[in-house]
Amino acid sequence: MAVITINYFSKIMRRQSTVSVIIPTDGMEDVRSGRHTVEPGAKYQTLWLLHGGGGDHTDFINFSNIVRYADRNKVAVVMPAGIRFYEGKDYAVVTEELPALLRILLPLSERREDNFIGGLSHGGDCALRACLEHPEAYAAGLVMSAAGVDHGESSDLRFPVFDLAERDLRANRQIPHLIFATGSGDRGFPSYTPVIDELEVMGVDLYRYFIDDEGHSWEFWDEALRWALDEYLPIQRHVILPE
């Protein structure tokens, strides 16, 4: 397992930026069993994973077991640093700049079926927006403790969730499968559920991973990541070898 920190100049931000990347490599069990993760020309399925407000590129490494989950599922994980991923330049970095750059630097598959995007809180809002605005880029989105809506009392949409979904549906664009993971104890739960319900009524393909009494916490987000990677997302659990 390789955990890499990349400092790069962001043309969009016009400054140095940082991203952490997990790349599965051969471990002791692979050596003992004769399996080989690292092969010339191999590429990896990729989870683009976004932290919440006040966090940075180290959050998931420090507060969850994402390294272990990525290793056993043989999936790369990209974790950029940002402020509000769901808007402005941060959004463009996640959806445009980083995929183009990192696919040059690292063996990341560019195919839709090999890419997933997820995030928590502000990062979850970005994952939802990216799935609706760039449905050709991702097979699925893991939206944790978010639904494109303000987490406070106003419940205002942070971007035009329903307009984007309607546009995709009318154009017969395949919206990535959306997984809404939240707990009933989350402060934003009353705001999330009406948005999720309306998207389902519109015909968006989605799944609810709701846990009673869980809140806006790393205990919940870590479990949601484990479940998504180990049990739910369409992950091959091996590298993609060249044809």
Closest CA to 160 of 120, 129, 119, 193: 129
| Domains defined for the chain, CATH in brackets | 2-232 (3.40.50.1820)
CA-CA distance, 147 to 170, in Å (whole number)?
Answer: 21
Residue of higher predicted confidence among 36 and 146: 146
Backbone angle region of 120, left / alpha / beta, with phi > 0 → left and psi within -120 to 50 → alpha: beta
**pLDDT tens, 116-135?**
999 999 999 999 999 999 99
pLDDT band at 198 (very low <50, low <70, confident <90, very high): very high
Q: Are 109 and 45 in contact (CB under 8 A)?
A: yes
Q: How high is the mean pLDDT of the chain?
A: 94
pLDDT of 40: 85
Q: Per-residue pLDDT tens for 216-226?
A: 999 999 999 99
Tell me the β-bridge partners of 5.
20
